[in-house]
Every structure is written in C-alpha cells, then in structure tokens.
A and B are shown apart, each in its own frame.
Chain A
Amino acid sequence: MTTTETTVAPERPPRRSAAERLRGAAAAPGLGPFVALLLTMAFFSLKSDRFLQAQNLSLVMQQVMVVGVLAIGQTFVILTAGIDLSCGTVMALGQIVMTKLAVANGVPALPAIALGILTCIGFGILNGGLVTAVRLPAFIVTLGTLNIAFALTHIVSNDLTFSGLPSQLLFFGRTFRLAGADFTYGVVLMLVLYAVAWYALTQTAWGRHVYAVGDNREAARLTGIKTERVLLGVFTLAGLTYGIAAMLLVARTELGDPNAGQTTENLDSITAVVLGGTSLFGGRGSVIGTLIGATIVGVFRNGLTLIGVEVIYQYLVTGILVILAVSVDQLTHRRRT
C-alpha cells in the first residue's frame, strides 16, 4: 500500500474550466463551416439584391430540405468510415413507389407513403447487411445498389411521371408565414430530424458507438461494442432518412418523377456532409455541421442561378467544392497521424 515515490497528482476538478470551454468552443465542429456559410452569403448578397430577401431565403430552405434530410443519413454512414452512393436513387425509388401506389393503384396516401419509406429502409438493410455479413466495402455495395435502385425506379414507373397527387402527399410542401417569410412544414420536419439525430449522436451511448466504430473499429470491438449491429443500424436508419427525403421531394415537386434524384441530390448529400466538417475517414464530425454544409450547397445553387450562371456551371462549381472540402479533410487527417 505504501510506495515511496508518491508524486500524487492533484484531484482533477471534473468541471471544465472557462479556458477549456473557450478552447472547446473555438474547435467546435460547425464553426468553420458556419464561417464559410456567412462568407458565401455575403458574396451572393453583394452580387444580387434579391438574394437576402425573405422570399428568396425561404426558397433556399425549401431547396435545402430534401438534400438536408438525405445528408442526415449520409452523415451517419460517413461517421462509421463508410459512404452511401445509393442515397439519391433509393430516394427516387421511394418517391416512385409512393406516387405510383397513390395515383395508379388507388392506395390511400398514408399507406402509400409508408410503403415508399419501407422500400428505402429495405435498401438500407440490404446495404448494411452486405457491408456487415459479406464484409464488402460500403463504396462497392452502394455503387451496386445505386444501379439496382435506378433500374427498379424505371421498371416500376414504366418511365411514366405521376401527377395529380392526393393532397396528403403534398402536406410537407405547404407553407405557413412566420416573421414575413414562408416556411414549409417540410423544413420544420427537417429541423426536427436534425435535432433528433444530434441528440442520438451526442447524448446517447449508441451515438458514441457510431463514432467509435468509424474511429477505430477493432478497438471498438475489443471494448465489447457489437460493431456489426451498429453498422447495420446506421445503414437502416440512413434508409429511413432517404424515405423521408422521398416524401419531402414528392411534396415539393408535386410529382413522382423517375428522373429525380439521380445526380444532383446524390453528390450534394456527400458534399453537404464533407463541407460540414465530417471526415471521410470516419469518427469525426457532427450532424449540425452537415446542416450548415447542406445550406452552403443550397446557397450556392440558388446564388449561382440568381446571378445568371447556367445550370451546367453549377455542376462544375459543386464538383470543385466537394474536391476542395475533401482535400482539406485529407490534409488535416495527415497532420493528425
């Protein structure tokens, strides 16, 4: 019990000191992306008088809501050091299932929505199952399911567009006025989903395990975390968010469009996550950053349209954006290790 060399460390106060809190806030995830968002907004407000008008900003949010919800699922997957390339086409399939059932098959709106969401969850389980049971890289699995969902979208829809949707399918596209601006219920739903995702990731043991699996999977397994169950859960939840995104897409476009969600939404969701500061190497990042990242993407698309840049150049700009963001991630990662 008695050792001679006793350099007893003083009892550490468990509360964080003010200096620590300040340092924590400076390094807080989301601060860098937030500054980037402000700079982007400042740029477009100088270029276009219409940009900062309430009407335009509420339009930006409506455009953000679909990609924003997709990006929640994408964040979960990327935090585990995976990636989901199938999110856009899975959403497109969910959207076709909902609208076709409601319009062509006379299924009531709520079951139609539920079946569309279940289709997306099914794809999530398929992705997660292949990643955990067959131990394939998420990149390859989701590249495969991207194509499967794409094909099914066109087969199920017969390349037809479904319109004349029952009003319940359009609910989340409806607006209400608040402080002189129009908000859709879909934007509110998106913010609620972000709050839930933030809570799950930062305030629960499951969230810790998601980070731990992406950070050092073997270490996570050795501490007794059921890493495969965590991964399967993450992909399944991602499928759920794609289903909800499909419902929001239907409400916004008032259509079931077999050509929706094939390129822009897919890449935009990954761009949003990476711009939001979540590392493609896994284990680092936050869903709040993703919300800011999705808003940056929305602001870029809206702003470029306002100042009259052609759509094809918008692809160019988002392509450059995502490569820039990934480069920053890679460089900081290299410095850490």
Chain B
Amino acid sequence: MSSPEPEPILEAHGLVKHYGQVVALDGVDFDLYPGEILAIIGDNGAGKSTLIKALSGALQPDDGKIRLEGRDVHFRSPLDARKAGIETVYQDLAVSPALDIASNIFLGREARRRGPLGHVLRMLDKGRMRREAARHFAELQIGIQSITQAVETLSGGQRQGVAVARAATWARRVVIMDEPTAALGVKETRQVLDLIRRVRDRGLPVILISHDMPHVFELADRIHIMRLGRRVAVVTPKTHTMPEAVAIMTGATRTELEQALTKEGE
C-alpha cells in the first residue's frame, strides 16, 4: 500500500518447463504492468512460445508461480486463462471463415435473447451481437463494409483485425499476441500494428511476441529479452538501440542480470 510503484497486473516467478531432456524454461521471471505493450523477443528456442503458453494456459509449467493482480493462479487450459480475463491472438488467423464477423466475435460466447425466448428456446440475440461487434470495430477503427460479411471475404489484415477485435472485446485484463503479423503483407501488418496500439490505448496491457525488431522498437514500452529459457534483460526503446538488444538476445553481450544468474547457477 505504501509503495507508489504500480503493481504488475501479471507476473511470473521461476517458471520451469522440461520437454524430456530439453529445458525450455529455466526459471524465467516475467512481469507486465497496466497500460503497457511488453514485447518478448528471443532467438528460436529461447523459450518465448513456451513462456506464452504457460501464461495463456496452453501448458502447465513444472515449477514456478504465476500471479494475476497479486493472486496466485493455476491455468489448466486456455479456457481457464480466458475466464480470468486473458485473451490470446494466434498468428495463424484462428477465425471461422464461413461465419460472419459478428458471429466470429461472439463465437463460443453468444448472446441470447432476454426473457423466455432466450431462456427456454435458447434464441440468439443477433441484433445485439451485431450492434456490439459494430461498436467494437468502430472504436478500434477497423474498416470493414459490414459486420454481416463472411470473414472469408476479408483480406488477411482484416481477418487478423477480427481476431484482435475478438480478443479486445473479451479480455478484461491482458491481451497476448503471438506473432500476430507473421502471416501478413506489409500494408496489412501496418494496420494490425496500429490496431495493437489502439488496444493498449483503450487501457488493456498487451504482450507482443515478435521476430520483427523494427516493429518491436516502434510499439513496445518495454522489451523482455529471452535467452536459453531465461529472462536475461528488460530494456526499453529509450535506453537501448536495436543492435544492443539483438546483442543481448544472441548472447554477444552478457548482461549483469545474466551474469548474476550464471553465478547463482554455479
């Protein structure tokens, strides 16, 4: 209570995950603060995906703690994480192409009519779902012709826009974006990057996993650098340049944090 520092909304301490002989996470720490975009970078095999899967409930760490708003949480499935207010956007456009935009936004969480039509006959409230989906699209400034368009009629960028809008609609605490632009062209990537910023500006903290350093440095408030299953540094675009961050990521520069961790391990 006495500390003026903001509390992390999501944090992890000493997460460990083994795949047989392979150590994917070697006691990684993590923290995410309200209202920020935190980028996670690291070479292939550094443990980015494993960390994200642990935070989004897709796998259970062997050891360590995850805390959401100061309370210990144990996600046994992505559904658990979602119930706790953490939504994930995947790189491979996880949408249902034949269904329309509004149906995709509400898929798995459909709104029913009020009164006996909804309770007894389980009737969908299509009007309400369309109105709310349209409102979210307007707020996030995603340009589409109509909320009743089938998703397959949209461009790749717009489709990812649907996935991001769905996450932003339902996330109460955190949005995780796992390489959201990996499958997109240049112009479409730009649209999605702007969209990520608008999600943050609406007050939701974002975890962004990306390989693309210019994008990371453009968007991120802080950058969490993974190497060999550990967090070796947290930098900001103000304190470090891109080559410096890459040097830390590849192990060319040993950070104090990493040296301390190595000593501890010996």
Partners in one complex: yes
Binding site for B on A (CB under 8 A): 1, 3, 5-14, 16, 20, 24, 199, 203-206, 208-209, 211-212, 215-216, 218-220, 222-225, 283-284, 336
Can you pick out 22 interface pairs between chain A and chain B where the beta carbons lie within 8 Å of each other?
A1-B201, A11-B134, A11-B138, A12-B134, A12-B144, A12-B147, A199-B121, A203-B121, A203-B123, A204-B123, A205-B110, A208-B110, A208-B124, A209-B107, A215-B96, A216-B94, A219-B95, A222-B78, A223-B109, A225-B108, A336-B97, A336-B152
Q: Are A205 and B112 in contact (CB under 8 A)?
A: yes
* Chain A interface main SS type: loop
Asked whether B137 is an interface residue with its Cβ less than 8 Å from the other chain, the reply is: yes
Q: Is B254 among interface residues, defined by CB-CB distance under 8 A?
A: no
Q: A residues within 8 A CB of B144?
A: 12
**Contacts known (A8-B141, A14-B134); A208 close to B107, Cβ less than 8 A:** yes
When the two chains form the complex, which single residue of B103, B137, B166, B198 contacts A12, counting CB atoms closer than 8 Å? B137
B98 within 8 A of A: yes
Complex contact B138–A205 (CB within 8 A)? no
In chain B, positions 107-128 with a C-beta closer than 8 Å to chain A are: 107-110, 112, 121-124, 127
Given A211-B96, A215-B97, A223-B108, are A204 and B148 neighbors across the interface (CB < 8 Å)? no
Contact check, A3 vs B198: say whether CB atoms are below 8 A apart.
yes
B79 touches A224 (CB 8 A): yes
Which residues does chain B contribute within 8 Å of A225, judged by CB atoms? 107-108
How many angstroms between the C-alpha atoms of A186 and B142 in the bound complex?
51
User: Do A220 and B107 have beta carbons less than 8 Å apart?
Assistant: yes
- The distance in angstroms between the C-alpha atoms of A66 and B201, with both chains bound, is 59
Do B78 and A212 touch across chains, with their CB atoms under 8 A apart? no
A22 to B78, CA, bound (A): 40
| B90 CB–A CB distance under 8 Å | yes
Report the minimum CB–CB distance from B133 to chain A (whole Å).
Answer: 8
Nearest CB on A from B168, distance (A): 14
Does B76 sit at the interface, judged by CB under 8 A? no
Sorted nearest first, the 4 A-B pairs with minimum C-beta distance are: A205-B110, A223-B108, A14-B131, A12-B134
Q: Does B73 contact A (CB under 8 A)?
A: no
A223-B107 in contact given A14-B127, A208-B99, A216-B95 (Cβ < 8 Å):
yes
B82 on interface, CB distance cutoff 8 Å: yes
- Complex contacts, A224 vs chain B, CB 8 Å: 78-79, 82, 108-109
Which residues of B are found within 8 Å of A223, using beta-carbon distances?
94, 107-109, 166
Known: A11-B134, A14-B134, A208-B110. A203 touches B124 (CB 8 A): yes
Residue of A nearest to B144 (CB): A12
**B130 contacts partner chain A, Cβ-Cβ < 8 Å:** yes
Instruction: Give Cα A222–Cα B138 distance, bound, in whole angstroms.
Output: 25
Question: Quick one: closest B residue to A222, CB to CB?
Answer: B94
Chain A nearest CB: distance from B197 CB in Å?
7
Task: Kindly list chain A residues whose C-beta atoms are within 8 Å of the C-beta of B108.
Answer: 209, 220, 223-225
Given A10-B138, A203-B122, A216-B97, 6 more pairs with CB closer than 8 A = A203-B124, A205-B110, A215-B98, A224-B108, A283-B99, A336-B97
A22 CB to nearest chain B CB (Å): 13
Complex Cα spacing A14 to B166, Å: 17
B107, closest chain A residue (CB): A223
Tell me the bound Cα distance from A222 to B56 in angstroms. 11
- Residues in A neighbouring B135, C-beta threshold 8 A: 11
Q: Does B146 contact A (CB under 8 A)?
A: yes
- Across the interface, name the chain B residue whose C-beta is closest to A285: B98
Contact with A along B167-178 (1 / 0, CB 8 A): 000000000000
B143 close to chain A: CB less than 8 A: yes
Query: Do the beta carbons of B141 and A9 come within 8 Å of each other?
Result: yes
Residue of B nearest to A17 (CB): B146
- Of B79, B90, B95, B122, which is within 8 A of A206 by CB? B122
Residues from chain A with Cβ under 8 Å of B95 in the complex = 216, 219
A123 to B136, CA, bound (A): 45
* CB-defined contacts of B131 to chain A, threshold 8 Å: 14
Contacts of A11 in B (CB 8 A): 134-135, 138
Please name all residues of chain A whose beta carbon is closer than 8 Å to the beta carbon of B99 when the two chains form the complex: 208, 211-212, 215, 283
* Residues of chain A with a CB closer than 8 A to B109's CB: 223-224
CB-defined contacts of B97 to chain A, threshold 8 Å = 215-216, 283, 336
